[in-house]
A and B are shown apart, each in its own frame.
Chain A
Amino acid sequence: MHMADALLSPAVATTMYAASTVAAGASIFKVNKEKESIKIPTMAVTAALVFAGQMINYTIPGTGSSGHICGGMLLTSLLGPQAGFLSMIVILAIQCLFFADGGLLALGANCWNMAFYGCFVGYYLIWKPIMKSKLNERLKLIIAPIVGCILTLQLGAFSVVLETSLSGITDLPFGTFVSIMQPIHLAIGLVEGLVTSAVLLFIKEARPELIKDLRPTEAWNCDAAKDAKSNGKLSFKATIAVLAAVAIVIGGGFSLLASSNPDGLEWSLFGNADSGYSQNMGLDEEDYGVKSTAADKAQSVQDKTSILPDYGFKDSDSFLGTSTSGIVGIGVVAAVIVVVSLIPKLVKKKEKDEQGDK
């Protein structure tokens, strides 16, 4: 699910950076406030562990294939949402820098898609409520990771589709794209959930205190009580931060929709008019009554983009719709590149010659 730089437009990438930064800022505030300095080494080692854990292939029974984990939910269940989010950011940064998995510009989006949902949504919506419930511990540790992983991966996959479509990268209709991505990630989420659950069940036997919220009353009584008290206050702040981040994404998303990308707006408001999609949906563009400037603007941009191929291609008969000078230009640049890439060899040769002279 790691998005590459090429799949995002600068506007979408920047919006996602802003959103992830808000979430990271709130997390840093919370983690610093906790003043548990032991947290940093624990976070680092756990992040390294999850990274290493991604290298393990798990045989999926009955299929002959194997899968691996991404670890967002595992991190959350061990470190809690804020510390988990920060650790996940670091994992994603290392993957993008050293393994070219994801991209530098796409890091914001990747943090959002893979870490934000897994850590915050997974924790506050799934993990915490289930841990607080009166189920038996074993059952909790089976249900929470599986539901959490499936849900958060679905959200992540949906965001990938949304971000790619908003970036205007693909001509694949949104609906088709979603219908490809979601089922794939359902299977991935299920496997991830099962592995996470298996690991947590093992940990429960050995060191249950490592699992977040599993046994709230038992764990180091006074600290836990303090934590619970302050939690109420902080989760309010966290909520606000989360809301702000969500608002940025939605606001940024819609402004993008309205300004630069007609496809997305077209889809979301009217469906695909060409294929009669809007009629199928019982919507009619004219009667729908959207007459905002944004819609007008979108319409004009849409006209431009829909005309673009024709006018790029019909008027000039050259290959791929570019002018002759464009093609010659490509040739010149290619020649420059070849020459440039020969520099090291030339330098080495010169050095050798010089050594030979001596």
Chain B
Amino acid sequence: MSKGTNKASNALNELRDMDELANGDSPIHRLHPLVKFLVTIAYIYFVVSFSKYDITGLFIMLIYPVLIFSIANIKVSTCFYKLRLVLPLVLMVGIFNPIFEGRAGVVSMITLMMKGTFSLMASFIMVATTPIDGLCAALRKIHVPSILVTLLLLTYRYIGVLVREVAIMTDAYKLRAPKQKGIAINAWGSFLGQLLLRSMDKASELYNSMQLRAFKGEFFYASQRGLNCLDVIYLVACIGGFVAARFINLTETLGGLFV
């Protein structure tokens, strides 16, 4: 990923990269979005439910994301960039465990980091294999209110437009104030304010354009299809696996076979 100093351009690149991944093709991409969504939620739920000292039991959960990354043909390392936001925070909270608890604290800190990394990998792989419209359709299927889903879809669409504007404005600002680290105080209000005013015009244009095409509050999603048996097998297999891993320490059992 090319990284500049412009936060907004970086965000745009990140969005674009996710989009490209999501539009790839693999058995995982072809699964029904709803199934992927449910499995991901279940996975994260089971991962965080492990005891904070159960490092061996938790370890086997790593197989799921790695396997899915493999089948989806996405390099595991693509999600590491995103860890920069999660890990510091988790570490900040976990770093005190060794201080207060000694060796047990080391274990709990490590499981905490593992939980953070695992759940990130799981949600990353879901988004990286499911386009936003598929995700929205899945949310509608589980009866998330239409207003929220509509809002999600529209916001996602306009984030692309407005973040680009911010990127351009930031560049324009920097070109005239190369030594400043950010926006100086005398422009605090007008910088975002200008964009806000333009956005409001955009919103009313958007409203018009929806009205002219007889929008009645419900979107249509292209990626609507029924569940097939592959989806169901995937769902049952994954959740069965998670349950097994959660209640039987598979890592130790496996190890026992060799000892």
Residues of A within 8 A of B (CB): 2-10, 13, 24, 28, 31-32, 37-38, 40-49, 51-53, 55-59, 61, 64-67, 78, 86-87, 89-91, 93-94, 96-101, 103-105, 164, 168-173, 194-195, 197-203, 206-207, 210, 308-309, 312-313, 320-334, 336-337, 340-344, 347
Residues of B within 8 A of A (CB): 7-8, 11, 14-15, 18, 40-41, 44-45, 47-49, 52-53, 55-56, 59-60, 62-63, 66-67, 69-71, 73, 76, 79, 82-83, 85-86, 89-90, 93-94, 96-97, 99-108, 110, 112-113, 115-116, 119-120, 123-124, 127, 135, 145, 147-148, 150-152, 154-159, 161-163, 165-167, 170, 180-185, 188-197, 199-200, 202-204, 206-207, 210-211, 215, 217, 249-259
Contacts of A333 in B (CB 8 A): 59-60, 62-63, 250-251, 254
Closest to B195 in A: A49
Are A52 and B193 also in contact (CB < 8 A) when A7-B89, A45-B200, A322-B55 are?
Answer: no
Q: How far is the CA of A96 from the CA of B156 in the complex (A)?
A: 13
Contact of B159 among A52, A321, A325 (CB under 8 A): A52
Is B103 touching A309 in the complex (CB atoms < 8 A)? yes
Contacts of A330 in B (CB 8 A): 56, 59, 251, 255
Contacts of A55 in B (CB 8 A): 7-8, 11, 163, 166-167, 170
Are A46 and B199 also in contact (CB < 8 A) when A41-B207, A330-B255 are?
Answer: yes
Q: Which of A13, A312, A330 has the most CB of B within 10 A?
A: A330
Is A5 touching B69 in the complex (CB atoms < 8 A)? no
A92 to chain B minimum Cβ distance, whole angstroms, is 11
Is A337 touching B63 in the complex (CB atoms < 8 A)? yes
Contacts of B101 in A (CB 8 A): 171, 309
Is B82 touching A6 in the complex (CB atoms < 8 A)? no
Is B158 touching A105 in the complex (CB atoms < 8 A)? no
Contact of B156 among A65, A94, A340 (CB under 8 A): A94
Is B255 touching A332 in the complex (CB atoms < 8 A)? yes
Contact of B251 among A44, A53, A329 (CB under 8 A): A329
Are A199 and B7 also in contact (CB < 8 A) when A98-B14, A103-B44, A333-B63 are?
Answer: no
Contacts of A98 in B (CB 8 A): 14-15, 18, 127
Contacts of B83 in A (CB 8 A): 100
Contacts of B249 in A (CB 8 A): 326, 329
Is A41 touching B195 in the complex (CB atoms < 8 A)? no
Is A46 touching B203 in the complex (CB atoms < 8 A)? yes
Q: How far is the CA of A273 from the CA of B182 in the complex (A)?
A: 48
Are A86 and B148 also in contact (CB < 8 A) when A4-B89, A328-B259 are?
Answer: yes
Q: A99-B11, A103-B119, A344-B70 are in contact. List 10 more A-B contacts (CB 8 A).
A: A10-B49, A47-B158, A52-B166, A56-B183, A86-B147, A104-B40, A170-B97, A172-B100, A198-B185, A210-B196
Q: How far is the CA of A105 from the CA of B123 in the complex (A)?
A: 10
Contacts of A341 in B (CB 8 A): 66, 69-70, 76
Contacts of B135 in A (CB 8 A): 97
Could you name 6 residue pairs across A and B whose Cβ atoms are closer than 8 Å? A4-B120, A9-B49, A10-B45, A207-B197, A308-B104, A340-B66
Complex A-B, nearest 8 residue pairs according to Cβ-Cβ distance, in ascending order? A329-B255, A57-B182, A202-B193, A198-B189, A328-B255, A44-B154, A329-B251, A100-B82
* CB contacts between A and B, total, < 8 Å: 346
Contacts of A344 in B (CB 8 A): 70, 73
Is B155 touching A104 in the complex (CB atoms < 8 A)? no
Q: How far is the CA of A270 from the CA of B143 in the complex (A)?
A: 44
Is A168 touching B52 in the complex (CB atoms < 8 A)? yes
Is A6 touching B112 in the complex (CB atoms < 8 A)? yes
Is B8 touching A52 in the complex (CB atoms < 8 A)? yes
B68 to chain A minimum Cβ distance, whole angstroms, is 9
Is B159 touching A51 in the complex (CB atoms < 8 A)? yes
Is A57 touching B44 in the complex (CB atoms < 8 A)? no
Q: How far is the CA of A343 from the CA of B67 in the complex (A)?
A: 9
Contacts of A321 in B (CB 8 A): 53, 103-104, 107
Q: How far is the CA of A36 from the CA of B63 in the complex (A)?
A: 49
Are A313 and B103 also in contact (CB < 8 A) when A41-B207, A96-B123 are?
Answer: yes
Is A324 touching B259 in the complex (CB atoms < 8 A)? yes
Closest to B105 in A: A171
Is B180 touching A59 in the complex (CB atoms < 8 A)? yes
Contacts of B102 in A (CB 8 A): 309
Contacts of A322 in B (CB 8 A): 55-56
Contacts of B79 in A (CB 8 A): 100
